Structure 1
Amino acid sequence: MTEEILLVDDEPAVLMGYERLLRRELQVTTVIGGAAGLVLLKYQGPFAVVVSDMRMPEMNGIEFLLKVQRDFPDTVRVMLTGDSDLQTAIDAVNQGKIFRFLSKPCNKETLVKTLRDSLEQHRLVCAEKEILENTLRGTIYVLTEVLSLVSPAAFSRAARVRRYVQHVASKLSLENPWRLEIAAMMSQLGCVTLDPDIIEAVHAGRDLSPQEQAQYIDHPLMAQELLKSIPRLESIAWMIAHQNRQLPVDWDVGDSEMREMRLGAQILRASLAFDLYLRKHRSSVEAALSLKRRFEDLDLRIVDALVELEPEVAGGGASSMPITELTAGLILDEEVRTGTGVLVAAKGQEITAPLLLKLKTFAAKQHIPNEVVVCAAKQQSPAPPAASDQVVS
């Protein structure tokens, strides 16, 4: 984590004074003017703290720090100015999200204390961000594990759809592909609220009754309810809730985040339908043609990207292995079902610690065989079992 401080002013003599005053106590870099400061931040940043003068030509301190806040949100911002106007201070704090506002002349003791406080604030911001990211990562892991244990078929489908959206996101050069990947993995989360027989019917390609169809169509809304309160997953929850809806993207209307969310929902919708068509046609080209016929409103770039894909299932060196000898990371090369036909784990599902415990428990109670067929990796291979042409996401 950097502890460098960037000082920005339009007067070289002032910057030289800062260097003489601070260089023995803090890591400081100086630059003349806001425009040069932004260039330095881009190519030599990020900096922990940025201190800017208010009165600078071409770009004043508020304008400069507002750009810093937009492009480098973790950088702590300090304003230093000889302007005693109260409105200037208010604008600096409200618009530029300034941490501290100092008036010139500022003695060394006050300046050094402010910079040390700013460095401590930066440490807190970074620590909070790390905690949030680790919490988010752990939450996603737990939710996917729950889905894999409660509804193996839904989890298997989510994993396939994730691969599709990864490819589409790469082809379309999306700025935040991680959001779409998480949305794909969470797209079937609402299935945990459904009768397992409905999930089995959908993934076997059997027709649903009108009542079952209505329940299944609503599962994305259940996923949204489960996700919308988790920080940083609000946009992902929105994409999932709209994954069954026609949402053409108008690139000239709305803000960039909303356009990204609408495009993400459209990619999800296409990928989910593509998955079902692929199971029926066993060819990405034929599946894409069905997709074009069924969804004329789709962005053709999405369809063109999906054409390049072939289904992926477990394969390569498959062998039968006692459940007691299984280890995490192996891939199931067959479905695991109880004697009554209940799906315990899906073909292509990765062995994780929770799944291994589940398999051992079922085997100990003689609900499933003591051996399963597994392999060590995944590769391109024939399509999943055929399904009907019925499209439900």
Structure 2
Amino acid sequence: MEYTVPELDPVSRQSMSLERPKKTKMLVVDDEPDNLDLLYRTFRRDFQVLKAESGIQALEVLSAEGEVAVIISDQRMPEMKGTEFLSRTVPQFPDTMRIILTGFTDVEDLVEAINSGQVYKYITKPWDPSELKAVVQRAAETYELLKQRTEELRRSQAQTALLSTIVYVAQDASSLESTLEPIAAAFGKNFLADGCILQLVEQGTLTAQGSYSSAESLENWLEKDPMVQAAIVAQKIQVSVNVPADASLSEVAHYANSGVQAHLIVPVTLRGEVLAVLSLQWRQPCTLRDDELMLLHLSAQQIALALTCSRYSPGMASQF
């Protein structure tokens, strides 16, 4: 598929979001089977509900399943109280929202847990399903907001590091390899790609010189890829976010052999000339946001400047 940056038409936008939203995960913990089943039935329509009959078992579930948005735990359980269990989840899952169910007044434990940030809310037994649903919904929304802000901060830091790398390379590169390698590595890291190749282009043709892959097991087959030629000719980003579902690529041998399921090609151009192509490859279907495409577009311009600076630096001209 071809994408024009920064504008994207509605069809392009739709094609970039292939996966159905998954249900948010939550974990319910209670040593009484009837209560555990009731909690499960209360939330199973809206959440992917995991169950555990004790704090120890719940820790094992989290170890196997990973982070969940919300944990609901009974307070009074054998072996480990609910507040103790929840406190153990904080270091590894700081964003998870924790709700405690209590049928008695254990003020000291509850106050300490709430004040230390280990518990988002406590609900007294017998609990009202509508009230508990409302609390859990707010907790899940808070979790999503925290994750969104964390991701935005991570993305901002990664983008700053990416652009800084390009600027640094443009100023201090002493060889072709020292120009390409850090740029490819930075892009691969920023976009969580399984492989990244930055390869030079001369007169509309890929050169064998100056290619770099950030994944050791990734074979460089760009010269055989129809998307690469399309990117060079059209001077526009080419992307397939789900190769097995793409009729024009699903039968191409190198995709089947490499296991690459998503591929994005960015032409690096300056004054109408393609200087290089940047290849980002993933071994699973992926989605790309508009801001990520914009970053790729702007970064490609910076790469073009870096390559141009390298072209005219001492000792480098002969390599272009």
| TM-score, normalisation: structure 2 | 0.51
Counterpart CA distance in 2 for 1:25 and 1:161 is: 44
Aligned counterparts of 2:140 and 2:43: Cα–Cα separation in 1: 14
**Cα distance 1:357–1:26, how it changes in 2: closer, same or farther (>3 A)?**
closer
Return the alpha-carbon distance in structure 2 between the equivalents of residues 369 and 156 of structure 1: 13
2:8 counterpart of 1:60: no
Q: Is the 8 A contact 2:70 2:96 kept in 1?
A: yes
State the Cα RMSD in Å: 4.0
Judging changes above 3 Å, is the alpha-carbon distance between structure 1 residues 101 and 120 closer, same or farther for their aligned structure 2 residues? same
Partner of residue 356, structure 1: 304
Separation in 2 of the partners of 1:359 and 1:16? 62
In the TM superposition, what whole-angstrom CA distance separates every residue of 1:98-135 from its partner, at most 9, and x where no partner exists?
Answer: 22222222211110001111111121122122212211
Aligned mates of 2:176, 2:316 — CA distance in 1: 23
- Look up the SS of the partner of 2:127 in the other structure: coil
- Where do 5+ consecutive residues of structure 2 fail to align? 1-21, 184-188, 190-271, 280-298
**Which of the pair has the greater relative contact order for Cα pairs under 8 Å at 6+ separation?**
2
Residue type at the aligned position of 2:304: L
Give the CA deviation at 1:13.
2.1
2:302 partner amino acid: P
Residue deviations 1:246-294 (CA, integer Å, cap 9, x gap): xxxxxxxxxxxxxxxxxxxxxxxxxxxxxxxxxxxxxxxxxxxxxxxxx
Query: Out of 166, 170, 185, which is 1:149 matched to?
Result: 170
Helix, strand or coil at the partner of 2:68:
coil
Counterpart pick for 1:5 among 20, 26, 30: 26
Instruction: Decide whether the 8 Å contact of 2:24 with 2:68 is kept in 1.
Output: yes
Aligned-partner SS, 2:144: helix
Aligned to 1:326: 275
SS in 1 for 2:160: helix
Q: Work out which of the residue numbers 138, 144, 164 in structure 2 matches 1:123.
A: 144
Q: Structure 1 vs Structure 2: percent identity of aligned residues?
A: 28
Select the structure of larger CA radius of gyration: 1
Whole-Å Cα distance in 2 between the matches of residues 145 and 86 of structure 1?
A: 56
In 2, distance between residues paired with 1:368 and 1:158? Answer: 14
Deviation, structure 1 residue 368: 8.1
Number of the residue aligned with 1:51:
72
Aligned residues of 2:170 and 2:305 also touching (Cα < 8 A):
no
Q: What 5-or-longer segments of structure 1 have no aligned partner?
A: 163-177, 179-322, 331-350, 375-393
- Residue 134 of structure 2: SS of its match in structure 1? helix
Are the structure 2 counterparts of residues 370 and 97 from structure 1 closer, same or farther at C-alpha, using a change threshold of 3 Å? closer
Q: Which structure is higher in helix share?
A: 1
Q: Assess, with a 3 A threshold, how the Cα gap between structure 1 residues 358 and 37 changes in structure 2: closer, same or farther.
A: closer
**Kept after mapping to 1: 8 A contact 2:23/2:48:** no
What's 1:82 paired with? 103
Alignment of 1:1-393 (within 5 A): 2-95=23-116, 97-153=118-174, 326-329=275-278, 353-357=301-305, 360=308, 372-374=318-320
Instruction: Report SS of the residue matched to 1:128.
Output: helix
The alpha-carbon distance between structure 1 residues 156 and 58, as it changes in their structure 2 partners (threshold 3 A), is: same
Q: Report deviation, 1:150.
A: 2.6
**Partner AA of 2:149 in structure 1:** E
Q: Give the match's secondary structure for 1:70.
A: coil
User: Are the aligned partners of 2:95 and 2:147 in contact in 1 as well (CA < 8 Å)?
Assistant: yes
What does the per-residue CA deviation read over 1:311-360, in whole Å, with 9 as the maximum and x for residues that have no partner?
Answer: xxxxxxxxxxxx95522459xxxxxxxxxxxxxxxxxxxx9642433565
Secondary structure (helix, strand or coil) at the match of 2:59 reads: helix
1:146 & 1:161 partners in 2: Cα distance?
Answer: 11
Q: Provide the C-alpha distance between the structure 2 equivalents of 1:361 and 1:151, rounded to a whole number of angstroms.
A: 10
Q: Mean alpha-carbon deviation: is it higher for 122-131 or for 106-115?
A: 122-131
**Contact 2:26 2:48 (C-alpha < 8 Å) held by counterparts:** yes
Q: How many residues align?
A: 194
